[in-house]
Amino acid sequence: MANKLLTIIKPFLKPLLALGLVLALFLGHANSALAASGGRIGGGSFRAPARSFTAPSRSYTAPGGGYYGGGGFGFPFILPFFGFGGGFGGLFSILIVFAIANFLLNTFRNISEEKTIAEVTNPKVSVAKVQVGLLAQARDLQSDLEKLARRADTSTSAGLAEVLQETTLALLRHPEYWVYAGSESQQARLEAAESQFNRLALMERSKFSEETLSNFNSQLKQASSSQLAVAQKAGALASQQPGEYIVVTLLVAAQGQLDLPQVTSPDTLRQALQQIGAVSSDRLLALEVLWAPQAEGDVLTRDDMITMYPNLRLI
C-alpha cells in the first residue's frame, strides 16, 4: 500500500520541491527587503530659467532713399517700374540684389531667433545618477547624512548645491569603504528630463520599506518611535546573514552637459563623484540624496544588494 502511494506521489515530488525552493527564495528576499529603511534629502524645480529675450530690430534702408522693415519687398523695389530715377537698368539690378539679400537675411534671423527662444524656454538638461555601496563600517557617513538632513535648506538652489557638495565630500573621504558602484547620465530637453528624473527617483525610493528620515523642499519628516522599532527589529534579524552594506544614491538634474565616466574602478568612481559634486547652484535644477539603511541597527545584506541593486558592479 505504501509503495503504491509512493508511486502515485512520486511524479509530483520534483515540481513540489522546485515550488518550495522558489517560495523560500522569494520569502527570504521579501523579508530581507523589509529591513531597508531609507533616508532622503532633496528638492528643486524643473521650471524654465527666468531669462528675458528681446528680438533684435530688423530694418533696412535701401540706397537712394526708402525704408522698410521685415522681410517684404518695399517701395524702393517697385519704384523703377513707374519710371522714376535715372539709370533704370543698373538701379533695378542693384535693388533686386539688395531686396533678395535682405529677404534671406531676415529669414535666417527668424530661424535663429526661434531656435534661441526654444533653447531658453526648453533647454537641454542632464539627468545623472551615481550610486555607491559601502561597507557597513561606514557608520560615520550614515550619521553625517542624518545630521545634514536635519539642518539642510532644501528650498533653494544654493542649499541643494551645499547638500550635493557635502554628500560627495563625505563619500570621497571614505574610499576605504567603497565596495560597489555605478553611474549613468543622459541628456534631454527640460520637459522630458523631469519625467526621467522622477522615474529614477521613484525607482530608488521604492526599494525602501519606509523613509524613516526625509527633508524634501525643507519639509522635515521623521518616523515615529514605533516605526523605528519595527525597522530596527527587522534589521536585527537581517544582520544574522553575512555581509552588511550601506548604499548612497545621488540623483542630479542640471542644465547643460554632464557626462559621467562609466564606473569600473575606484579611480573612475572618484572622477564621477568629483564631476557630479561640482555642479553649481545656478545649473542645479533638482537633487535627490537617498541612502539605505537609515534606521539605527538596520542593515543591507548581500542578498539585499543582489536583489535591489543588481546594476552595481564590484570595484
Reported as a single tens digit per residue, the pLDDT across 134-182 is 998 888 899 999 999 999 999 999 999 999 999 999 999 999 999 999 9
pTM of the model: 0.68
| Lowest mean pLDDT segment, chosen from 55-59, 213-217, 219-223, 246-250 | 55-59
Please determine, for residue 129, whether its predicted confidence score (pLDDT) is greater than 90.
Answer: yes
Please determine, for residue 73, whether its predicted confidence score (pLDDT) is greater than 80.
Answer: no
If you average pLDDT over residues 49-71, what whole number do you get? 45
- Secondary structure in 3-state letters for the chain: CHHHHHHHHHHHHHHHHHHHHHHHHHHHHHHHHCCCEEEEEEEECCCCCCCCCCCCCCEEECCCCCEEECCCCCHHHHHHHHCCCCCHHHHHHHHHHHHHHHHHHHHHHHHHHHHHHHHHHCCEEEEEEEEEEEECCCHHHHHHHHHHHHHCCCCCHHHHHHHHHHHHHHHHCCHHHEEEEEEEEEEEEHHHHHHHHHHHHHHHHCCCCEEEEEEECCEEEECCHHHHHHHHHHHHHHCCCCCCEEEEEEEEEEECCCCCCCCCCHHHHHHHHHHHHCCCCCCEEEEEEEEECCCCCCCECHHHHHHHCCCCEEC
Mean pLDDT of the chain: 77
- The pLDDT tens digits of the residues spanning 232-249 come to 444 444 444 445 899 999
